[in-house]
């Protein structure tokens, strides 16, 4: 509650609103709301108020807010006239708790379901004066049916959005080990850290207006997060290392929490943290995704192939005597860890068959459209073998379903002939980390190599 000239007091009802919007675990001091869901705002005027009086609210986000980009909206009384290309239109109604004759104007304000996520300024114009009221943060809303990240099952929302602890599975398909992990997505510092991750990405630096506008789309946001969690491009969070030399940093096995990694990156002026491997990249991404409200889970794939040339196969070369004669650019890992985020995919124009869980992988393996990131790749596209679907479905399909092709290179002639071509990797077992970690839970029904696991 604070004073503003022309408006006696402003009350954001942070505790009440944040409780209703399931953000109270983040903070009680700052308003953090989810799009598509109303929140209460009370203005105490210096004089009685009438419904006919002018009261226009304006929200803005980003460095160049505009109605055309959905990053600015002016709404209230009199009703604003929007151009045909205006996006993300906010609204308010007089709340029943208002006492207008005493100048107590209680408003029920609703961010639209297509509002870009991020930090907004809020101002009010009344009695010919415009005054800044403060700021608020808007997140995705998996509880709202109109949001692209809507997840119908409340138990899954609790697990994949609200749960701050989990388990990561590592090891081999014959000996599955586990490691507890603290995601900590609701630590108060996560607000500034996660918003900084979006602002530090290359697309924002090249086109800040377009990038801020695109944050209405979880497909875009999750792709940005995937790129920003590794440091292969610019100011990413983690440096990957696999050679065993970690003397100038921390071994990937030392980490047990996303919070300490993200804090170190943020406090060190966005210099990347050393070091991470696949399960560290994935768990930190899960933290950021859950903070923004995108349902997310950590997934481990055992016997995971790395296909570097989009052949959907792993090529191995041997000489006449059966000795590997060519250094492999492709490999099969004992295990690899990524995340899956839940969202609709209207960009694919297929009647919703690709909605739902999407594979995202922040571990830097191959470039995707010139950037080290991967996904979102629809799980259903991988199951169906639809390798023409965005993003990076062939690469992920090969991770779980690649054949190993063995070639013989004739020493005298250099002729290369196939000697074995079969699905010798067998079934890639994919398990999902959960809070109730008594045993490895198999994630979505899968049919890798014709074997279905749950």
* Residues with active-site annotation: 278, 336, 361
Which two structure tokens, joined as six digits, stand for 120? 């907004």
- Tell me how far apart the alpha carbons of residues 114 and 148 are, in angstroms, rounded to a whole number: 9
**What are the backbone dihedrals phi and psi of residue 299, each rounded to the nearest 5 degrees, phi first?**
-125, 135
Which two structure tokens, joined as six digits, stand for 250? 């921390």
60: nearest Cα among 72, 74, 76, 75: 72
CA 204 vs CA 95, 210, 228, 230, 393: distances in Å: 37, 8, 12, 17, 26
**What are the backbone dihedrals phi and psi of residue 33, each rounded to the nearest 5 degrees, phi first?**
-125, 165
Which two structure tokens, joined as six digits, stand for 300? 């481990």
Q: At what angle do helices 190-199 and 258-267 cross, to 10 degrees?
A: 60
Contact yes or no for 49/100 (Cβ under 8 A): yes
Given the structure tokens 């989810």, which residue do they identify? Answer: 34
Given the structure tokens 């571990």, which residue do they identify? Answer: 363
11: nearest Cα among 75, 98, 117: 98
No. of helices (H) and no. of strands (E), the chain:
10, 27
Contact yes or no for 417/408 (Cβ under 8 A): yes
DSSP result, 175-235 = SEEEEEEE--TTSTTHHHHHHHHHHTSHHHHH-HHHHHHHTT-HHHHHHHHHHHTBSSSSS
Given the structure tokens 């138990």, which residue do they identify? Answer: 155
Tell me the residue ranges of DSSP E strands in 361-402: 367-368, 371-372, 377-378
Contact yes or no for 257/294 (Cβ under 8 A): no
């Amino acid at each position: 509650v604070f004073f503003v000239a022309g408006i006696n007091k402003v009350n954001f009802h942070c505790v009440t609103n944040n409780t209703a919007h399931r953000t109270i675990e983040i903070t009680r001091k700052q308003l953090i709301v989810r799009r598509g869901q109303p929140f209460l705002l009370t203005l105490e005027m210096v004089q009685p108020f009438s419904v006919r009086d002018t009261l226009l609210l304006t929200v803005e986000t980003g460095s160049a807010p505009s109605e055309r980009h959905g990053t600015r909206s002016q709404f209230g009384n009199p009703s604003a006239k929007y151009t045909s290309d205006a996006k993300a239109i906010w609204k308010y109604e007089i709340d029943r708790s208002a006492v207008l004759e005493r100048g107590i104007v209680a408003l029920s304000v609703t961010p639209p379901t297509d509002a870009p996520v991020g930090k907004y300024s809020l101002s009010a114009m009344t009695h010919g004066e415009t005054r800044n009221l403060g700021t608020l943060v808007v997140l995705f809303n998996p509880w709202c049916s109109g949001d692209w990240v809507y997840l119908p099952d409340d138990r899954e929302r609790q697990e994949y959005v609200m749960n701050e602890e989990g388990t990561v599975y590592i090891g081999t398909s014959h000996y599955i080990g586990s490691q507890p992990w603290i995601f900590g997505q609701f630590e108060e510092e996560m607000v500034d850290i996660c918003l900084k991750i979006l602002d530090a990405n290359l697309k924002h630096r090249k086109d800040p207006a377009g990038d801020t506008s695109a944050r209405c789309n979880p497909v875009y946001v999750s792709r940005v997060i995937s790129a920003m969690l590794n440091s292969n491009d610019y100011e990413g969070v983690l440096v990957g290392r696999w050679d065993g030399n970690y003397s100038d940093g921390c071994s990937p096995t030392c980490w047990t929490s996303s919070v300490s990694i993200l804090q170190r990156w943020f406090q060190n002026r966005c210099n990347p943290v050393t070091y991470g491997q696949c399960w560290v990249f994935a768990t930190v991404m899960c933290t950021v995704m859950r903070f923004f409200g995108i349902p997310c889970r950590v997934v481990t794939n055992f016997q995971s192939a790395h296909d570097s040339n989009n052949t959907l196969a792993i090529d191995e070369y041997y000489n006449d005597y059966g000795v590997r004669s060519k250094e492999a650019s492709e490999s099969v890992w004992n295990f690899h860890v990524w995340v899956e985020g839940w969202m609709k995919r209207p960009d694919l124009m297929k009647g919703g068959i690709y909605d739902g869980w999407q594979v995202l992988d922040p571990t830097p393996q191959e470039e995707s459209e010139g950037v080290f990131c991967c996904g979102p790749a629809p799980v259903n596209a991988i199951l169906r073998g639809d390798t023409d679907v965005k993003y990076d479905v062939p690469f992920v399909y090969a991770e779980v379903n690649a054949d190993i092709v063995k070639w013989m290179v004739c020493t005298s002639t250099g002729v290369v002939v196939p000697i074995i071509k079969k699905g010798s990797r067998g079934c890639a077992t994919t398990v999902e980390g959960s809070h109730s970690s008594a045993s490895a839970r198999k994630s979505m029904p899968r049919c890798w190599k014709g074997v279905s696991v749950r």
